[in-house]
A and B are shown apart, each in its own frame.
Chain A
Amino acid sequence: MNTKVKEVMNTKLETIKAEASVYDAIEKLVDKRMRSLIVLPRDEKDVYGVITVRDIVFKVIAKNLDPHKIRVEEIASKPVISIDKETDLEHLIKLMEKFNIARVFVHEGKEIVGVVSLLDVMGASLIERARRV
């Protein structure tokens, strides 16, 4: 595949503070119809994290824990796996496989500017196949 990450990435990103409750995260995920939120760094020395629906289901709901009492940073994954937007999609797929993750974030300098999910990768590969006359 010759496709670059920037061609398929989604720039719709939502963030949440590390000290917010998991319940706040659930509300935001439902409202925005999303599957993950970026957890903002606490300070300049800290790094970005990510909290996904999967984290909430397996680490909170399945264990019968109260989402009001657990903070986002307790279950979030840190740091986020991110790549440059000029990277080839092939490299991104390898990263997904290596870390067993469904989405990879895209950075520009220190800032997170986008995300690519498995569904985006599948869509891009279908389009590329179709374009091969």
Chain B
Amino acid sequence: MPRYLSLVRIDENNAPAEGPSPELMQRMGELIEEITKAGVMLDTAGLTPSAQGRRVHWEGGQLSVTDGPFTESKEVVGGYALMQCKDMAEAIEWTKRFLKTHEEHWTVTCEVREIAEG
């Protein structure tokens, strides 16, 4: 049973300024509980805004550190879910349910990637 990492990407420049509504947090909390009860969720978390983040870059044998926010990226990772599912189709179904907890004015992309084993 493979593990999948769902990277939740949002466009920080066009995300709702007031952040997630209490109703959204409630629906998301209920869904995460459901995914956990299904024995699927291994770990999940939301990240603080990229303004508080830093990028450490390695190129040509040189290190450089850049402070956030990372405005040049259209979408940045805002959270993740690590799930163990029977197959990609199951991971996608849970991901769709996660996205559907958001109101219509949200634009969110989940990039679902299988974790390489062995």
The reply to whether chain A is a binding partner of chain B is no
Residues of A in contact with B (beta carbons under 8 Å apart): none
Residues of B in contact with A (beta carbons under 8 Å apart): none
